Amino acid sequence: MSYSEVSLARLTAFLAWSTQAGSPDAVKKALSVMKTKLGEHGFDYYDWNENQSVNKDIGAKVSDELVKSDLVILEGSKQRPNLAYEAGYAHALHLPLVVVKQYDSERLPENFGEPDYLSYPADVGDELGFKDFESRFADWLGKLAATTLSPGQRSARHGRNSLNEQINKFIDGYPEEHASLHLLGGWAGALAHELDSGGASQLVVDADYYLPSFSSLRGWDGGEVRAIADLTDETEQFWTPDHPEEMTANVSERVFLIDWSWFFEEESKLARQINLWKQHQARHRDRPYEIFIAAKEELRPGEVHPMGPGAVGHHLLLLDPDLIGGYRPNPGRIDGRQLVIERNALRFASATQFYDSIKARAVRFEPSMKAADLRRAWVARNDIGHWDEDWTSETEFRSPDYFDDYERHIRCWIPNYAQMIRDCAATVFREILRIYADSMRSVGVLEIGYGTGRLTSEIVPWIRNINRPFYDLEHHGPVRQYRGVDRAEQMVQFARERLMPEQQTGLDMRLVRGTAWEDVDGRYDVVFGSLVMHFLIGPDPTDETLDEFFGNCAEHTTEDGTLIFADVFGVNGDRKGSSSMEKWREWMARYGLSDDKVEGYMAGNTDMTSAAPVSLLRKAAEAHGFKTRVKVVGAPTLPFRIVVFQKDRPGRD
């Protein structure tokens, strides 16, 4: 029988009494009273006197039965020889012990540890006396059920006794000196040290023991259990199709934290997890159990994990009224985790605040939900994709929430954003390699409007890798320098922290604050940007505006240079692109934005809804020596493209 199964088994009482006590009929009546009350209170019992005749090894059998028992009842009217052994063993196991004795019989010597005493009449005909004994015995059982024999006390005691029994069996297997004994001693000592480190108010164990610990919690019904399961961290690896159901036996609600990208690029992961949540909730439909889904966020000001800065992930366990749990690194194991359970009323209050702040960003999960439904609910809950009418055309003057949630906003606004970034980066790679192969000289690149560094973070690692062999030989690699310019200070700070340009080995990289073209010096082989061209040109650009733009491009590119822009463009010569704009609106609504949010975004971005068509750009580009190539991003009915303007050097095919 496993440890968790033992903790849920029926209570068991061990009874031993003497046939030589005075008034044997009174002893039998007292035993009958006790056995009846034990049955009423949910106890099984083992009557030693009824079984001793079949036992050959009496000492071993007594020990075995006492280890399995929750309560020991000894008749002590006659101080029989075995009484001391039974009482001593019960004390060693910290089992509740009661000695029943006839009125006026002697108490046991003091070295028996002053057990509880219950007296019963020596006269079998003393009905009032036996009624009083029955009442006092029942009261005693009731008190034990709320204290020493509560499910938690039993669970902990059975676990301790089971561990002690196994250690003893191990020791008994080595009657002589052996290295195994030392190894066992070291392990047991380390375990004892872990338990001792926090005293009775803190339990610190290896995270591998979380499952059996939580499984045993099924026997506790003293309050509400809430939890945060951080799926972005691999500590809790039991959230699988084979999830052990005992992990949820008495949790009333659980918040699952996922990476926000699951709502967008990783939708297949979200769909698989939804199936698990459905199965998980269906198995517990017969009791209150709610699931909430939230995106894992950086902690906001005032949000502090209750386990401190060393906490692993945002995992959290809350057990009313004062118990919290979480993970922290295990100093004794590389990549190891410790489960820390702490009883602290003050920390419980702060943990409740932390839990509530995470739950405030969460969406209640319903079994009927699909990935699109969950995304729509999460987008609405967190106001993702809302375009504030105060966000002016000057990016640097926008409020902090534009920048803080930009990576989420943009995925609700721009169809296939991640694909567009990847395709744009791949186009930049090809142009770098083409120019390097044609000229056999190091290439200089310029990114306009690098923003949060999303496109930059795709390109820089690739450049660093192709430069590395040359750098190791102390030669310039294929890419000589990387320059980036962005006008918003918030974006500059964000990108610098994300990319750390000064630490890019083998690449002269600088990310500066400025505008194109006033703050751009020199000429570059590849000039590129994502979602910036419409901003540079503006809505419904005139021929003069386009001529000025491509004139600046020509001035800042080398003789065989290339321009690459991933952006929104008018389609089929229609500068308003009414059909493609409607498709864009439909996409945003399908992806989770409400109609008012869609219209708010479109109204606030006229430079995108009135972007120049490629046909008009091609004409202006050709006037400045650029040939034009176009790649569709996503569906051709949507207005997003990657456009390459390549200088048409005379004599080149």
DSSP letters spanning 254-266: EEEEE-GGGGTTT
The answer to whether 122 touches 97, Cβ cutoff 8 Å, is: no
Higher per-residue confidence, 323 vs 653: 323
CA distance 645 to 563: 5
Neighbouring residues of 254: CB distance < 8 A, sequence distance ≥ 6: 226, 227, 228, 229, 248, 289, 290, 291, 292
Please check whether residue 602 is in contact with residue 589, taking contact to mean a CB–CB distance below 8 angstroms. no
Q: Give the three-state DSSP class for 92.
A: helix
Strand locations in 469-621, DSSP E? 479-486, 508-513, 524-530, 557-568
Asked whether 458 and 503 are in contact (CB, 8 A), the reply is no
- Over range 25-53, report the average pLDDT: 88
Over residues 190-218, mean pLDDT: 78
How much is the average pLDDT of 402-409? 89
pLDDT of residue 424: 97
**How would residue 572 be classed by pLDDT, with cut points 50, 70 and 90?**
low
Q: How far apart are CA 227 and CA 250, in angstroms?
A: 11
Confidence of residue 584 (pLDDT cuts 50, 70, 90): very high
Question: Contact 643/629 with Cβ under 8 angstroms?
Answer: yes
Looking at the predicted structure, is the pLDDT value of residue 146 above 50?
A: yes
- Percentage above 90 pLDDT, the chain: 52
Rounded Cα–Cα distance for residues 524 and 154 (Å): 76
* Residue 103 pLDDT greater than 80, yes or no: yes
Residues in CB range of 66: below 8 A, 6 or more apart: 14, 72, 86, 89, 90, 93, 95
The angle at the Cα of 501, spanning 432 to 299, to the nearest 5 degrees, equals: 120
Report yes or no: 257 and 296 within 8 Å, Cβ to Cβ: yes
pLDDT of residue 2: 42
The lowest-confidence range among 109-118, 260-269, 563-572, 586-595 is: 109-118
pLDDT for residue 5 is more than 50: no
Q: How confident is the model at residue 575 (pLDDT cuts 50, 70, 90)?
A: very low
Residues written for the chain? 653
Asked if 294 and 363 touch (Cβ cutoff 8 Å), the reply is yes
Sign of CA dihedral 632, 550, 584, 387: positive
The pLDDT-based confidence of 249 (bands split at 50, 70, 90) is: low
Q: Which helix (H) or strand (E) holds 342?
A: strand 337-343
Q: Using omega within 30 degrees of 0 as the cis cutoff, is the peptide bond preceding 121 cis?
A: no
- pLDDT on residue 1: 38
Q: What's the CA gap between 639 and 611, in Å, rounded?
A: 9
In this prediction, residues 213-220 reach a mean pLDDT of: 78
C-alpha closest to that of 99 among 134, 132, 75, 129: 75
Confidence of residue 568 (pLDDT cuts 50, 70, 90): very high
pLDDT for residue 330 = 82
Please, what is the average pLDDT of the chain?
87
651 band by pLDDT with thresholds 50, 70 and 90: low
Are the folds of 3-153 and 411-647 the same?
yes
* CA 45 to each of CA 42, 53, 130, 234, 248: distance values in angstroms, whole numbers, following the listed order: 10, 17, 21, 45, 32
206-381 has which fold? Endonuclease; Chain A (3.30.870)
Asked if residue 634 lies in contact with residue 419, where contact means CB atoms within 8 angstroms, the answer is yes
* Greatest mean pLDDT among 76-90, 154-168, 427-441: 427-441
Of residues 311 and 571, more confidently modeled:
311
- Would you call 531 exposed, middle or buried from its count of C-beta atoms within 10 A (0-12, 13-18, 19+)? buried
Average pLDDT (506-528) is 92
What's the sign of the alpha-carbon dihedral 516, 517, 521, 527? positive
Q: What tens digit of pLDDT does each residue of 525-565 get?
A: 999 999 999 999 999 999 999 999 999 999 999 999 999 99
| DSSP 8-state secondary structure symbol assigned to residue 399 | -
Q: How confident is the model at residue 93 (pLDDT cuts 50, 70, 90)?
A: confident
Q: How confident is the model at residue 375 (pLDDT cuts 50, 70, 90)?
A: very high
The whole-number pLDDT of residue 4 equals 41
What pLDDT does residue 368 have?
94
Binning pLDDT at 50, 70 and 90, where does residue 298 land?
A: confident
CB neighbours of 409 closer than 8 A, spacing ≥ 6? 384, 385, 386, 402
Pairing assessment for the beta strands 557-568 and 640-647 based on DSSP bridges? antiparallel
Domain residue spans of the chain: 3-153, 206-381, 411-647
> Going edge to edge, which strands form the sheet with 253-258?
202-206, 337-343, 323-329, 316-319, 225-230, 253-258, 290-295, 363-364
Torsion of CA 337, 342, 345, 346, to 10 degrees: -40
In this predicted model, which residue has the larger pLDDT, 105 or 599?
599
The pLDDT of residue 580 is above 60: yes
- List pLDDT tens digits, range 634-648: 889 999 999 999 998
Q: What's the pLDDT at 54?
A: 56
pLDDT of residue 536: 93
* Helix extents (H) in 440-480: 454-472
Which bin fits 114, alpha (ψ -120 to 50), beta or left (φ > 0)? left
Whether the pLDDT of residue 261 is over 80: the answer is yes
Type of residue numbered 364: R
User: What six digits make up the tokens of 23?
Assistant: 């008034």
- CATH number for the region 411-647 comes to 3.40.50.150
Residue 461 has pLDDT above 80, yes or no: yes
pTM: 0.79
Query: Does residue 483 register a pLDDT over 80?
Result: yes
pLDDT given for residue 162 in this prediction: 83
pLDDT class of 512 with cuts at 50, 70, 90: very high
Cβ(467)–Cβ(506) under 8 Å? yes
Residue whose entry in the numeric block shows the structure tokens 């280890």: 67
**What's the pLDDT at 246?**
67
In single-letter form, the type of residue at position 524 comes to: Y
Class of 3-153 in CATH: alpha beta
- Quote the distance between the C-alpha of residue 330 and its chain's center: 18
- Direct distance between the N- and C-terminal alpha carbons of the chain, in angstroms, rounded to an integer: 81
- Give me Rg for the CA atoms of the chain: 38
Residue 3 has pLDDT above 50, yes or no: no
* Segment holding 75, helix H or strand E: strand 71-75
Q: How far apart are CA 539 and CA 42, in angstroms?
A: 81
Question: In the chain, what are the helix, strand and coil shares in percent, each to the nearest 5?
Answer: 45, 20, 35
